[in-house]
Amino acid sequence: MKNKDPREKWVTIIPLIGLTVGIALAGFLVYDGIRSVVNHKYCPVLSEDFSGSSLNDRIWTKEVEAGGFGNGQFDMTTGSDENVFIRDGQLWIKPTLQDQKLIETNNVIDLSADGTCTSKVSSNCMTATNITNGTIVSPVKSARINTKKGASIKFGRVEVRARLPTGDWLWPAIWMMPVEDTYGEWPRSGEIDIVESRGNNYSYAQGGNNIVSSTLHWGPSQANDAWWRTNVKRSALHTTYSKSYHTFGLEWSEKYLFTYVDTRLLQVLYTNFDEPLWQRGNFPPSDSNGTRLQDMWSQTGRYSTPFDQEFFLIINVAVGGTNGWFEDGKSGKPWVDHSPTAKRDFWNARDKWYPTWQNEGAMVIDSVKMWQQCD
């Protein structure tokens, strides 16, 4: 016991050397990671806290239409205080029932007649009831607002703090569209869906207000929209997105685009622009009609195309629709998408779905912030 082997010291020295090298290597990796992160400078574009009595019409536009916005939605959007209003420093978008008299008798609602329609397409300004063939005017009124007039960004950040609605067949969305269709009509010029959800409860087969999703839409034609390659869902933990307020965010640069809930660390969708989107889409050479599909993006030399243009913000609560957002045959859906009487079938089931809207059937927005990347 009194005689020590001189080699015993290496039992201590070798582990210490290994530990020192490990710490040094870890420190270098952390440093290299931090050094490689691009910390962009952001300049404020919009900071809206709804402290006024009405929306700033130099920034916001209330879209007034009755054409279903290409999704066959069952709501006509209005600029009325019934559907979009400010209360106690918060913006409310609240769907309400249509006047029953307009549904039970032959009627035509022509929004262009009084000059309120905001669409340049005349068919989007009209909705009608025809008792004979079973069609009806839009059975619900709601609202949709956008910042196209006064706030748009090309690369930057967006944060919308909001409480999503509760109610069967409600479809809340916070999303962005290009100011100009630089690369052609939808989806050639892109669409950024920061958050979409459904007002149905957690038992709904596709996921109700306990699920949010983020999506990028991009492709050479409607039939070749590659959204499914850039679509991610996130579940709320032991709650729903209508029980409390959440910050729904976007960070977007020429190299990447990601969305998040409450913190940038809690990401939903993350997309790297590390290859041309045309290449990533793996589109067929032609569509089902034999028309050749043209690559309209790679000519720019930017991998982020078409997400390299000015985009503006849209906030709305849609109702129903015939585009498949609510799948046929799921959880008692009271209409079939391809039915010519889908709107009437939906209306006839109002005793079931309308009571679910009564308590929290509105999207309530606390604030909207937009920043432009300016470094």
- H or E segment at 177? strand 170-178
Six-digit token string for 240: 């729903």
Nearest-angstrom CA–CA distance, 111 and 360: 29
Is the N-terminal amide bond of 284 cis, ω within 30° of 0?
A: no
Q: What values do phi and psi take at 264, rounded to 5? A: -65, -20
How far apart are the C-alpha atoms of 6 and 106, rounded to whole Å? Answer: 104
State the DSSP code for 5.
P
Find, among 213, 203, 205, the residue nearest to 164 by Cα: 213
Residue 320 token pair: 């129903």
* Active site (catalytic) residues: 191, 196
Spatial distance between the Cα atoms of 324 and 340, rounded to a whole number of angstroms: 15
Q: Cα-Cα-Cα-Cα dihedral of 128, 130, 131, 134, to 10°?
A: -90
